[in-house]
Structures are given as C-alpha cells and as structure tokens.
Chains A and B, each alone.
Chain A
C-alpha cells in the first residue's frame, strides 16, 4: 500500500500526532520481552515481564465463585432465561443491580466508612475510558490539570490525547518519600497561572502508581482544601484501593470530604475500576463517581461510548453482592499481596536493594540510584537498558513516570507466580553481585513450574507498543502447566 505524505493528510491531527505516547523509547523494554519472553522450561533465559501492573494472585477465587454460581452467567442452563433481557439491555444507566453492587463494593473497600449512591455511578471503558470521560466533562481543549509526579505514563494518552487537555506535573521528591506538599501544589499552580494556562483541576492517584503508597488523611485534607480554595476540580483515581495490604489503611477522598469546612462537593470526582482490585482487566469495568449532578447527567450520556457489556454487568452484580465472598476475597487478596510483597522485597534486601516503603499497589518503587554510573537520566536509561538486555527483566524507568530524580524504577511482581519471582530475584542479586563485586548464592532450579500468565495487552505497561501490528503474530502465553 502506498503511504506517502498524502496519507498523513488523509487522517486527522489526533490520529497522526504522537500524543498517544506510544512512540517513546521505553517501548524497547516491551519489544525485548515480546521477542524473548521468559518460560521456565522452554525459555528460562528469556525476559521476565515486570512492567505490567496486573493482579494475578487471586483469580482462582473468582474462578471458584463463578463455577459455584452458574446462575450469574447468562450462558449456563441456570442463567439462560435471562439471556434475552440482558443481551438486549443497552441502557447507559447500567443495570440497577450492577450499580448497587458496585456502590456496595466500593463502600466495603473503604471499610464501610462511607456510603456511595448508585445513581452517581457512571460506566467507562475501563479506567482508561473513565479517565478520558471525566476529562471530557471537566476540561476544554487547552485547559490544564495538575498531576503530582511520578505519575502513570498513560495519563498522557488517557487525559490529553483526544481531549486536548494538558498535564502540569507537580514535582515530588524522595527527600520526603515523594509526598505531595501544599508548597509544591501552590508553586505549580502559580507558575501555570503566570504562563496564562487555565488550570481546571488536580488529578491524584491514591494509592499511588508507581509509588505503591497511600495518602494520609492530613495530606488529603490539605489537597481538598487546596482545590476548594482555588475552585478547581479534584479527580481521585482510586483504582488500587483494595490492593492495600498493610497499614496504614486506605483513606478515600470520600471520607475526607466531610472533614473539610465548606467543601464544595461539585468539585470532587472519583475514578474507579475493578481491574486491579479484583484482577479482571479483561472485563473493562471503569467507573466514574461524581458528586457533581451535571457531570453525572452529561457524563452518563458520554458513557455510551464505553459501556460495560451487559453480560459482564450481570455477572459482577451477582459477584459483588455476595457479601460473604467479597469479605473473604478482600481479606485473602490483601494477605497474598502482602506475602508476595514480602517475598520480593526481602529477597532484594539481602543485596541492599531498597524500595520506597509501600503498603499498596502491584509493584515497588525500587531505588537503584546507587548503581547509576552517572546520576542523570542518561545514566538511568543506560542502567535500564542493561537491566533489559543483560539481566533480562522488563522494568520501568522512573523517567517514564516523569519522576524528577533519576535512579528509580517501578518493578511489578503480582503478574507472575512465586517461582518466576524467585528467578527475578536471583537475577537481580546476581547482577548486583557483579556490579558490586560481591558473589551471590544461586539456588537450584525447580523442575515442576507453572508459567505465570502474561497478557498481550499493554495498557498497564508503561507504554503500549501499538507501533507493532495490532494483531501481532506473537502467540498468547496461556496458563501452562508444565508437567
């Protein structure tokens, strides 16, 4: 097919610019993984995917529930009488029982300390769609949102690409564990104003991606105070809320609102999803919860562009209404996340690799500043390439998250099984040993391994490499039981 400059003109600006963020050099990490994916027996020297923030620790619990509750599926003999009604249901309000169940679940995740109104729940195509939707509701082209750094790289695509809004980073520093300070917010805000940029709001991710930390009550109150004072919106992306695995417990903005004097509720919006908390990213359940009636009314119409499949709504309505299951799941999930976190971080401590102390998320924010040859972002990239190509781990460098200091890396570990974690830790230890000149002991390889599943979709990765053919010949990596 002839593609010349004429082809560029055929498409829109949005379709031909690179504001989707997928052309960045960080794509190399994914490329390295895709061309050489780790497999315990078939490719034990392959690249381990540690750039994918997915929760694969608890799908056995969900699987068990689905098998034991055939009525929740419209395809089983027990549930098929609902098939016609559900298959036909395309109301953008969503199934009432689905919204009730989601409101109920969101409340449980917050320890029952706050109740949610099902009529304020809007659907979005995953958190990706939900983030874009709220942006379309709050910002006109050219308007800006403040965002504390380091932040999830795909915010550039989700919040800015088609909405034409812009992001203004608010720098956070390791000196105070990357906490957001009022000073930093004020500074970023003033600078924007001086530059004649119209700041419409602030977006925070709590628990944080990539830090894995939750915000304390005081910081949240300060933030709510800040946005009220400036009369700008606050969007809280709380998609990791139920990945909190140890104290301090999660505090949602919904809990803090009532503590702030004269808080204008019309400014507060929550983005949520079931992808991380329940580990079901394939189901594309994104939620916008707004305290602003107009946002709810108009946003609801916008949700037509990314409704949750009615079949999925129906299943999840039943799953999330099963209080006994939900409570058991949340407890067990937290336990497994904690165990995995310990497993990984303890393994690293032995070679003096530290991570930012964290209590949530599906990753750690690893401090490799000591290994940088130069304390610059070039140095960070150089080390990153070594980690990809020699240590064979696809981790994500801090600069991808707009971190202000070089040397930090986000490393995911909930998207694999225990044995693969062991391999990863071994490799890190061997590498560090080489770097520091200290020998590190290697354990014997176990022969009966289960391969962890790795998704082909890249949204939770740093950057989605759609420069490749959308239907790459790379095969799926299904759950394989090596016998």
Chain B
C-alpha cells in the first residue's frame, strides 16, 4: 500500500546506534532526579560554548530586528543571510587557507539535507559512493534511503591509524566493479566522525589522484572543521585542490564540500547546512533541490547578525577549540586511568576508544555484548564501532562535549569501577594467564547475558531486540541478583 521506502527498514534506523539512544531516552541521567540513569555519550553535540552565544545575544538585544527593518523582510524573504558572510566564516574556520566565493554556495536545512542533495545530484539509483570506514551511522539513511544510491565501504585499519591509502581506495573500487556497481565518487568526512582526526595532505593527494584517475567526484563533509583543537591544523580539500596546478584535469569541477553550523557553533536545531562547489551545474541543480528544505529566514537573520560580528566569531572559534581540547584531555585521562586507550586525535566532539582488550573474543558478537554491558551495567550510552561499519571489533566512539564536566567525571568513575570489577573477577589470583583471563571474562559475560536473556527473552541478534522492552529494567534486576551471588 505504501511505497517501498516507507515500508521497509532501509532507513537504517534500527541499528543499535539508535537503540542505545532509545534506551537512554527511557532512563536518562540527571544529577538530582535520576543519578543512576544512563549518561548519554553517543551524541556528537557541542554544548561547551553556549555561554558565549548567550552573552553575545545579551549584548545585541535588537537581534529580533523588529524595530529597524520590520518583520516583512524576515517572514517573506527566503534569502535573508548574506552568502558573503557565510563564506567568510567558512574561510576563517579553515584558517583563511582558502577563499570561497558566495555564488558557489547553496544553503540547505542542515547537513543531512545537503548530503542527500549531493547524492541526488551526482548519482543515479544503483550507482555507488565509496566511504572510508568507520563512518557516521546516519549516512546509511542520509545517502542511501530515498536516493537509491549504494555505499561501498572502504575498510581502514588501526594498523596505520585508520588512514586512507591509495591501495585501500583501489581495493574498494575493485570490489565495486565485482558487484557491478558504478562508482560515482568518494565521500569522506574530514575531520573524521567517528575517529576525530583530520586528513593529512598525503591522504588528500591520494584522494585527488584517485578521483582524477577514475574520473569521479569527491565529497568532503567538513562539518567538524571548526572543532580542530590540536595540531596538525585543518587542511580542507579545497585548499589542496587550489594548491595543485599540475594534472588537475578538471577535477576541481568534481570536488564539493558539505558544511554546517551544527557542530562548530553548536546549533543543530537551527538546521543550517550548506553545499559548496566549483561546479556551476551542480550549484544550479542543488539550488533547485534546496527548495525542499530551506533555512528558516528567522534563523538566517540571527546567523547573519552573528557572523557579521567578526570579533566575536574569531573569539568564539578560539575559545571553543580551547574548551574542546581540555574536555578531550579529561576524557582521555579518565579512560587511561581505567587502562583504556584512545586513538590520537586532534578534532571532533568524541574519542575513538580502543576496548579490544575487554572483549571476550575478537568478534562483533563480543563487541555487542560489551556494548550492552556498558549501556546497561555501567550506564553509559556509547557507540559501538560496528554501528559505524568499523572493520575491527572492539572500538567505540565516546562523546565528550554534550555534558557537563562533572557528568563526564562521573562517567569516567563508573567506567573505572566497571573495569576494576571485571579485572577482579578475572584476576582471582596472581599468575593468571591470558587464556584464563579471557575465559573468566567469557564466563562473566555469559552469566550476565544469561541473566538478561532470562528476563527479556532470548534474542540472539540485537536487531531482533523488542524495542518496547526496557533492557535497563532487566539489568536492575540482574544487579540485585548479582549481589546475591
């Protein structure tokens, strides 16, 4: 009766990235009201610098603009903001390493909308884009669902810090050929979500060479470009494209940027996204498509005034990065305290955490179990690497910028307590062998899982997990019976 899109589950929203979210919603942590609730560490939001925005608003009370210009331009016009201001801001975020032209910009309702538009413009149904893994789980919905475009994952490995190499690009391309998929481009997120690292110039060169060789597009989702808090500094693909003069062979026409204010300014609710491209035809097509999700003129007006204040934006960018750096260090050291390491990162609102040593086996099944432990037993919603299509089990994305310092510290304490309790179960005596440790963890896990299954019912795959059930309730019961053990 309905379309296939509305009937199937191809929106990608049943992965346990979203399930963890749902569990959190049922039992959210609150300092006073629910101190044992789940702490949300799966949300890549930047909540560190709202005070700066609020004090700007207090200093600029006429932002609503009623007194001066009257409402008419606000409610009637669809293009309130100056694109010149926007591109200047984009340039500033990139350390002014590249200048952008206002007529090459298209405004959209968030990066979600922008990414979908890019797919509609560059690929026909059944065609494909290569995406390095791990990647943001939402891409399965944003890029594929309504467009019919396929994603060919390009597996990156911890052995080289998850970097993009020419050989991995070629391998992914060949894989696509074997599946009879026509590759239209490579889609990268730079800085990376979930890795939190910026691409090196070498990686960017590889990408461009690859795009030249295969005559395909590059889309660079740079929505985290303003969250770079450590060296190396951010290098946009546009910067590298402009630098290179030889052998560029029209590839400049095939390099496109997606940007948004959601992460850099911490305003995801405002739905301000954009596409930037040198390709005039693409800009024309994308502009037409932007009709399906324009930015509210009320919001454009606010953002326009904010960005006009150059002193403020410079100060904001700098202070925000400083706070992100500090917060990341806090998470990193808290995890280290629990014997857990992170991938070395210089950007983003999260860390890519290595928990491979905590798995009962090097499998995704074990990763799932560990994730559930941490969600329900430790009370932290973090994102398992498999939901980001990571090729190696045991990696997790842990966000740090969407909570207060105290909450983060509590999260770290809980983690440490969990690790300590696991270790104490495992190290029943000195001279415990690795195999004994692994067996002990396995036993602990299976006992815990058995407990869960008894309460909820046996579901071998998280995908079957009945969404209405409260896993948390089950763990509460389990915790009680744990004490009795």
A-to-B contact residues, CB < 8 Å = 1-3, 6-8, 10-16, 20, 22, 54, 56, 59-60, 62-63, 66-67, 70, 73, 75-77, 80, 83-84, 86-90, 125-126, 128-129, 132, 136-141, 143, 157-158, 162, 200, 231, 266, 279-284, 292, 294-295, 298-299, 301-302, 304-312, 315, 453, 455-457, 459, 464, 466-467, 469-471, 476, 478-479
Docked-complex contact A305 and B112, CB < 8 angstroms: yes
| B1-19 contact mask (Cβ, 8 Å, vs A): 1 or 0 | 1111111000101000000
A59 touching B72 in the complex, CB below 8 Å, given contacts A284-B109, A466-B284 = yes
Q: Contact check: which of A62, A294, A302, A471 meets B83 at CB < 8 Å?
A: A471
Q: Contact check: which of A128, A200, A457 meets B292 at CB < 8 Å?
A: A128
Q: Contact check: which of B67, B76, B294 meets A453 at CB < 8 Å?
A: B76
Closest to B262 in A: A90
Q: Contact check: which of A59, A125, A311 meets B76 at CB < 8 Å?
A: A59
Docked-complex contact B112 and A7, CB < 8 angstroms: no
Docked-complex contact B293 and A129, CB < 8 angstroms: yes
Chain A residues near B73 (CB, 8 Å)?
453, 476, 478-479
Instruction: Tell me which of B66, B67, B73, B292 has the highest count of chain A C-beta atoms within 10 A of its own C-beta.
Output: B292
Chain B residues near A301 (CB, 8 Å)?
11, 13, 141
Docked-complex contact A138 and B6, CB < 8 angstroms: yes
The binding surface of chain B is classed by DSSP as helix
Docked-complex contact A309 and B295, CB < 8 angstroms: yes
Docked-complex contact B285 and A457, CB < 8 angstroms: no
User: A287 to nearest B CB, angstroms?
Assistant: 14
A305 to B291, CA, bound (A): 11
Chain A residues near B287 (CB, 8 Å)?
466, 470
A466 to B287, CA, bound (A): 8
Docked-complex contact B76 and A281, CB < 8 angstroms: yes
A321 to B67, CA, bound (A): 24
Question: Within 8 Å of chain A (Cβ to Cβ): is B271?
Answer: yes
A307 to B272, CA, bound (A): 10
Chain A residues near B3 (CB, 8 Å)?
136-140, 143, 200
Docked-complex contact B64 and A66, CB < 8 angstroms: yes
Q: Contact check: which of B45, B53, B282 meets A11 at CB < 8 Å?
A: B282
Q: Contact check: which of B2, B58, B121 meets A138 at CB < 8 Å?
A: B2
**A-B CB contact pairs (8 Å), 5 listed:** A279-B75, A299-B6, A307-B109, A315-B298, A456-B77
Looking at the complex, which of B161-169, B224-232, B273-281, B469-477 is the stretch in contact with chain A?
A: B273-281
Chain A residues near B262 (CB, 8 Å)?
90
Docked-complex contact B80 and A136, CB < 8 angstroms: no
Docked-complex contact B124 and A13, CB < 8 angstroms: yes
Docked-complex contact A282 and B11, CB < 8 angstroms: no
Question: Within 8 Å of chain A (Cβ to Cβ): is B397?
Answer: no
A200 to B7, CA, bound (A): 15
Closest to A470 in B: B287
| Docked complex: B81-108 residues within 8 A CB-CB of A | 83, 102-103, 106
Chain B residues near A266 (CB, 8 Å)?
1
Chain B residues near A77 (CB, 8 Å)?
58, 61
Docked-complex contact A140 and B281, CB < 8 angstroms: no
Docked-complex contact B124 and A312, CB < 8 angstroms: no
A143 to B6, CA, bound (A): 14
A80 to B56, CA, bound (A): 10
Chain B residues near A157 (CB, 8 Å)?
288, 291
Q: Contact check: which of B78, B106, B110, B288 meets A20 at CB < 8 Å?
A: B288
Question: Within 8 Å of chain A (Cβ to Cβ): is B144?
Answer: no
Docked-complex contact B298 and A304, CB < 8 angstroms: no
Docked-complex contact A282 and B77, CB < 8 angstroms: yes
User: A476 to nearest B CB, angstroms?
Assistant: 7
Docked-complex contact B253 and A1, CB < 8 angstroms: yes
Question: Within 8 Å of chain A (Cβ to Cβ): is B366?
Answer: no
Docked-complex contact A88 and B292, CB < 8 angstroms: no
Number of interface residues of B (CB under 8 A): 85
Q: Contact check: which of A62, A162, A307, A479 meets B289 at CB < 8 Å?
A: A162
B-to-A contact residues, CB < 8 Å = 1-7, 11, 13, 45, 47, 50, 53-54, 57-58, 61, 63-64, 66-67, 69-80, 83, 102-103, 106, 109-110, 112-113, 116, 120-125, 127, 141-142, 145-146, 217, 250, 253-254, 262, 266-271, 278-285, 287-289, 291-299, 302
Q: Which 5 A-B pairs have the closest CB atoms?
A: A310-B269, A282-B297, A125-B293, A457-B78, A306-B293
Chain B residues near A294 (CB, 8 Å)?
2, 6-7
Docked-complex contact B270 and A309, CB < 8 angstroms: yes
Chain A residues near B217 (CB, 8 Å)?
10
A165 to B274, CA, bound (A): 27
Instruction: Tell me which of B13, B266, B298 has the highest count of chain A C-beta atoms within 10 A of its own C-beta.
Output: B298
A466 touching B288 in the complex, CB below 8 Å, given contacts A75-B302, A87-B269 = yes
Docked-complex contact B66 and A280, CB < 8 angstroms: no
Docked-complex contact A312 and B296, CB < 8 angstroms: yes
Chain A residues near B116 (CB, 8 Å)?
305
Docked-complex contact A63 and B280, CB < 8 angstroms: no
A311 touching B292 in the complex, CB below 8 Å, given contacts A62-B71, A88-B47, A457-B78 = no
A87 touching B270 in the complex, CB below 8 Å, given contacts A305-B113, A311-B299, A459-B291 = yes
Give 5 new A-B contacts, CB below 8 A, not counting A63-B72, A298-B2.
A20-B288, A56-B76, A126-B291, A308-B271, A470-B283
Q: Contact check: which of B63, B103, B122, B298 meets A283 at CB < 8 Å?
A: B298
Docked-complex contact B267 and A12, CB < 8 angstroms: no
A282 touching B124 in the complex, CB below 8 Å, given contacts A56-B72, A56-B76, A63-B70 = no
A305 touching B109 in the complex, CB below 8 Å, given contacts A90-B262, A281-B75 = yes
Docked-complex contact B79 and A456, CB < 8 angstroms: yes
Docked-complex contact A1 and B77, CB < 8 angstroms: no
Chain B residues near A479 (CB, 8 Å)?
69-70, 72-73
Instruction: Tell me which of A14, A129, A266 has the highest count of chain B C-beta atoms within 10 A of its own C-beta.
Output: A14
Chain B residues near A306 (CB, 8 Å)?
109, 113, 292-293
Docked-complex contact A16 and B281, CB < 8 angstroms: yes
Docked-complex contact A304 and B112, CB < 8 angstroms: yes
User: B275 to nearest A CB, angstroms?
Assistant: 11
Chain B residues near A125 (CB, 8 Å)?
109, 113, 291-294
A10 to B64, CA, bound (A): 43
User: B223 to nearest A CB, angstroms?
Assistant: 13
Docked-complex contact B298 and A311, CB < 8 angstroms: yes
Docked-complex contact A12 and B5, CB < 8 angstroms: no
User: B382 to nearest A CB, angstroms?
Assistant: 19
A455 touching B278 in the complex, CB below 8 Å, given contacts A10-B254, A86-B269, A464-B291 = no
Chain B residues near A457 (CB, 8 Å)?
77-79
Q: Contact check: which of B79, B253, B283 meets A10 at CB < 8 Å?
A: B253
Chain A residues near B70 (CB, 8 Å)?
63, 479
User: B160 to nearest A CB, angstroms?
Assistant: 32
Q: Contact check: which of B64, B103, B279 meets A471 at CB < 8 Å?
A: B103
A148 to B267, CA, bound (A): 42
Chain A residues near B72 (CB, 8 Å)?
56, 59, 63, 453, 478-479
Docked-complex contact B121 and A14, CB < 8 angstroms: yes
Docked-complex contact A129 and B292, CB < 8 angstroms: yes
A375 to B71, CA, bound (A): 45
Chain A residues near B7 (CB, 8 Å)?
294, 298
Chain B residues near A59 (CB, 8 Å)?
71-72, 75-76
User: A167 to nearest B CB, angstroms?
Assistant: 16
Q: Contact check: which of A12, A137, A140, A456 meets B123 at CB < 8 Å?
A: A12
User: A329 to nearest B CB, angstroms?
Assistant: 13
Chain A residues near B6 (CB, 8 Å)?
136-138, 294-295, 298-299
Chain A residues near B102 (CB, 8 Å)?
471
A65 to B465, CA, bound (A): 49
A173 to B297, CA, bound (A): 39
Q: Contact check: which of B57, B121, B285, B296 meets A75 at CB < 8 Å?
A: B57
Docked-complex contact B103 and A84, CB < 8 angstroms: no
User: A237 to nearest B CB, angstroms?
Assistant: 15
Chain A residues near B77 (CB, 8 Å)?
282, 455-457, 476
User: B50 to nearest A CB, angstroms?
Assistant: 4
A125 to B50, CA, bound (A): 26
